[in-house]
């Protein structure tokens, strides 16, 4: 797969598949942070030292040691334009931090983009595995196997008492971040979201926006992840997240049913009003597009809207982001131009899907 494919296709192959509980859980992710022993961490490394680490880690897929998990391609961030790096962030294939590291950063991507291995981000190595729906245990299994491959050919920075050593103290220990991306419009509309999320933080989990720490929850999308990596085993971390997410899924479905039972006409009006605006608007900013797409996605999941699939909504959530818009239309745009193009793209996408049948 070429670099061009990674930055031009909005929907990763892994997102085209179905997973359990996809009406509420968009995706499950495991991220493992590791550093190499005897090398300064990226924040303190010179360019030469960072390049040595990059060459060592990128030699692993080149040696064929990852071949049992598919084909992989290494992309150095210096080979990408600023726009292309932004597109990879919008697809969740690299972090915003790595996007800013064009000097000695790299990403090793699997062909289906389910595996993204970041080099010289905040840590030397960050292994990320993504699955559709609620499959956090499956994502952990794959991430663990890939981690074993790297650990078999490198020497990790490890302390017998503290565990794996990382740049940020909050990652010391297992080095694992287990997270799910959840679509929670029912809890937002029934005004239960603050109570639920407050309870989540009290059991050691964090709530963030769609791009992780410091980002906002656009389109009723919330990222739920573990905060504690020290003093718990990997299994305990996974099980804790799994149990809490299962409860949130139940609360969200109950909230959606309550909306149907008590405010069906208002709910239908909201869903179809957003569908109508998306189908006809001439200008639309990112925040409004995210909210309207969330409404339509809710309508699809509740069976109010037919002949438009959740995957189409997932695709448009990526396509309408600022970087991808400019990539699709191959032009640098002002914010107002992006708003016009965003509306145009959504109109065309919805028209294409409904040409084959009604709403």
Tell whether residue 31 is among the known ligand binding residues: yes
The pLDDT of residue 356 is 45
**Is 181 assigned to a binding site?**
yes
Cα–Cα distance for residue pair 331/356, rounded to 1 Å: 31
State the Cα–Cα distance between residues 109 and 292, nearest whole angstrom.
32
352 is in an annotated binding site: no
What is the per-residue pLDDT for 145?
97
State pTM to two decimals.
0.90
Cα separation of 163 and 185, whole Å? 39
b/e per residue, 95-116, with b = 16+ CB within 10 A? bebbbebeebbbbbbbebbbbb
The reply to whether 179 sits in an annotated binding site is yes
Tokens read off for 284: 């639309």
- pLDDT score, position 190: 96
Domains and CATH numbers, the chain: 3-173 (3.30.590.10), 262-354 (no CATH)
List of the chain residues with pLDDT < 70: 1-4, 210-217, 353-359
pLDDT for the residue numbered 89: 92
Q: Which helix (H) or strand (E) holds 252?
A: helix 234-280
The answer to whether the annotation marks 105 as part of a ligand binding site is: no
Please state, in angstroms and as integers, the Cα–Cα distance from residue 284 to each residue in 216, 290, 292, 344, following that order: 18, 10, 10, 9
**284 assigned to a ligand binding site:** no
- Rg (C-alpha) for the chain, rounded Å, is 21
| Tens digits of residue pLDDT in 101-156 | 777 999 999 999 999 999 999 999 999 999 999 999 999 999 999 999 999 999 99
3-class SS at 11?
coil
Residue 13 is given by DSSP the state G
212 labeled binding residue: yes
For 265, how many CA atoms within 13 A lie in the half-sphere containing its CB?
0
The response to whether 29 counts as a known ligand-binding position is yes
What pLDDT score does 334 carry?
95
């Amino acid at each position: 797969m070429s670099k061009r494919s990674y930055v031009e296709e909005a929907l990763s192959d892994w997102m085209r598949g179905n997973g359990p509980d996809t009406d509420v859980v968009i995706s499950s992710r495991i991220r493992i942070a590791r550093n190499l022993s005897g090398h300064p961490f990226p924040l303190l490394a010179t360019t030469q030292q960072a390049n040595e680490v990059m060459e060592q880690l990128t030699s692993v897929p080149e040696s064929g040691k990852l071949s049992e998990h598919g084909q992989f391609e290494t992309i150095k961030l210096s080979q990408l334009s600023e726009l292309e790096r932004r597109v990879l962030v919008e697809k969740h294939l690299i972090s915003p931090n790595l996007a800013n590291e064009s000097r000695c950063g790299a990403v090793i991507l699997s062909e289906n983009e389910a595996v993204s291995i970041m080099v010289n981000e905040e840590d030397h190595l960050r292994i990320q595995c993504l699955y559709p729906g609620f499959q956090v245990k499956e994502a952990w299994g794959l991430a663990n196997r890939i981690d074993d491959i790297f650990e078999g050919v490198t020497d990790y920075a490890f302390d017998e008492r503290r565990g794996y050593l990382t740049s940020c103290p909050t990652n010391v220990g297992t080095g694992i971040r287990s997270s799910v991306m959840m679509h929670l419009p029912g809890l937002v509309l029934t005004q239960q979201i603050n109570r639920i999320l407050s309870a989540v933080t009290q059991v050691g989990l964090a709530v963030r926006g769609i791009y992780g720490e410091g980002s906002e929850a656009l389109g009723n999308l919330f990222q739920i992840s573990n905060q504690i990596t020290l003093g718990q085993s990997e299994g305990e971390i996974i099980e804790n997240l799994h149990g809490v997410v299962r409860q949130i899924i139940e609360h969200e479905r109950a909230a959606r049913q309550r909306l149907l039972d008590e405010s069906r006409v208002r709910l239908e009006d909201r869903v179809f009003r957003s569908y109508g605006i998306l189908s006809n608007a001439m200008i639309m900013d990112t925040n409004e597009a995210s909210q309207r797409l969330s409404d339509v996605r809710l309508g699809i999941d509740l069976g109010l809207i037919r002949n438009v699939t959740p995957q189409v909504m997932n695709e448009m959530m990526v396509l309408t982001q600022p970087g991808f818009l400019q990539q699709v239309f191959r032009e640098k745009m002002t914010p107002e131009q992006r708003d016009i193009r965003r509306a145009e793209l959504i109109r065309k996408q919805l028209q294409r899907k409904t040409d084959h049948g009604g709403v």
